[in-house]
Amino acid sequence: MAGVNAMEKKLAEYKCDTNEAICLKLVRFPEDLEDDGTTFHPEYSHQLYGDDEVAFGYKGLQIQLYYSAGNLSTLFKVKYSSKVTEKFDCVEADDVEVKIRDIIPAGFSCSTDDFVSRLEKEANFRPFGNLLHTYKVHNEEAGELTYQICKVDMACPGFQEYHGRLQTFLMWFIETASFIDADDDRWDFFLVFEKYNKDGETLYATVGYMTVYNYYVYPDKTRPRVSQMLVLPPFQGEGHGAQLLEAVHRFYCTLPKVQDITAEDPSESYVKLRDFVLAKLCRALPSFAPDKLQLGFSEVMVKEAQDTLKINKKHARRVYEILRLKATDMADEAKARDYRLDVKRRLFGPYKKNQRELTKMMKCLRPEELVSHIRHIDTDVQHQELEKSYQEVLDEYRRIIERLASQA
């Protein structure tokens, strides 16, 4: 038994956390290759390495995936200090390389010298597609930086190969990511690039992107649905997501055939970002003026949000609640009460649905089953849950209002 435990302990030393082992870089200068400060790591690696996100068989495992900042030319290398051998009772090390090779397109380099030579060609790289929007962000170290947002499709020369490299980042930063069918011409792509200088030349670095699928809506409309959105980690927290989403909304608002813009299975962070962007856009609409907000949510708001900004009724309602809170003096007891009741009436919708369903069920349930269901919709419990939901919504809205105020 002691021997078995010793062997288990020995083998445990050869387990590596793949989120730590995978090292990612966006390389602008050759010296970035040796700079640990430019390295970032995945949030997820379970799609390649299993739910436990562990690779077995190595000590000091380092899976290097380095990309040139603009064209995303790729360097792929695997390093480790030691590896299990056959002396460990016939155990084998995981093939960590094949899993990476399954997702990165052909043409990557395994030689640092070759990668550096490709890096020298970055001056030839230019953003794909048509320029939609240019904006600036102040950086404490670098000063004022310029960014561009472009729209592109697969017909653009060279883009399909570039996108194959770009989408590999999805596996590390979107929990349920999957690669898209690049042959479907209903996809739109929106890219963000940073302009920077190197030896007196203007170069471009990839910042992030969004994919949008155009669904058909009877009889003659389309519904763009955001599928994936990613700002690469070195650029997160700088406002690029909001700039990208706003630019995409403004683009589709110019197309008469677009009915509204939605998102596929949006994450919590995306919903917060969307709330902020749509509130920023809607506050300029006449029907969302402060004096109109106090009169309650109206069909005029729904129509103007739909016609002008391609915002559906559900999203327009959330924006109304955010902007009404912004325009309401919550220190005034009567105004605060009116606002609270207005929001709670919307939040109470699912509870009313449960009550209607219970009324129907009473006709066919046995007494003991009915008691069980009644417990789930106890009035006091409902009121507590409703108040909790209201307070959570209030906290979310206040954070958005603070962000709106900071950019006023």
How crowded is residue 201: how many other Cβ atoms within 10 Å of its Cβ? 10
Name the β-bridge partners of 204: 195
CA angle 157, 160, 161 (to 5 degrees): 100
Q: Which residues contact 55 (CB under 8 A, 6 or more apart)?
A: 15, 16, 18, 21, 49, 61, 94, 96
Is 319 exposed, middle or buried, given 0-12, 13-18 or 19+ CB atoms closer than 10 A? buried
- C-alpha of 2 from chain center: 49
CA 192/CA 149 separation, integer angstroms: 5
Out of 92, 264, 357, 392, the active site residue is 264
CA 387/CA 379 separation, integer angstroms: 12
What DSSP designation does 175 have?
Answer: T
CA angle 365, 367, 370 (to 5 degrees): 60
CA 260/CA 250 separation, integer angstroms: 12
Q: Where does 126-264 have alpha helices with state H?
A: 159-166, 170-173, 240-253
**121: which 2 tokens?**
């060609």
Concerning whether 264 is annotated as a catalytic residue, the answer is yes
The CA-based dihedral angle spanning residues 242, 246, 252, 258, taken in that order and rounded to the nearest 10 degrees: 80
Name the β-bridge partners of 224: 214
Cβ contact 297:257 at 8 Å: no
End-to-end CA distance of the chain: 69
For residue 190, give the nearest of 266, 137, 250 by alpha carbon.
Answer: 250
Active site residues: 264
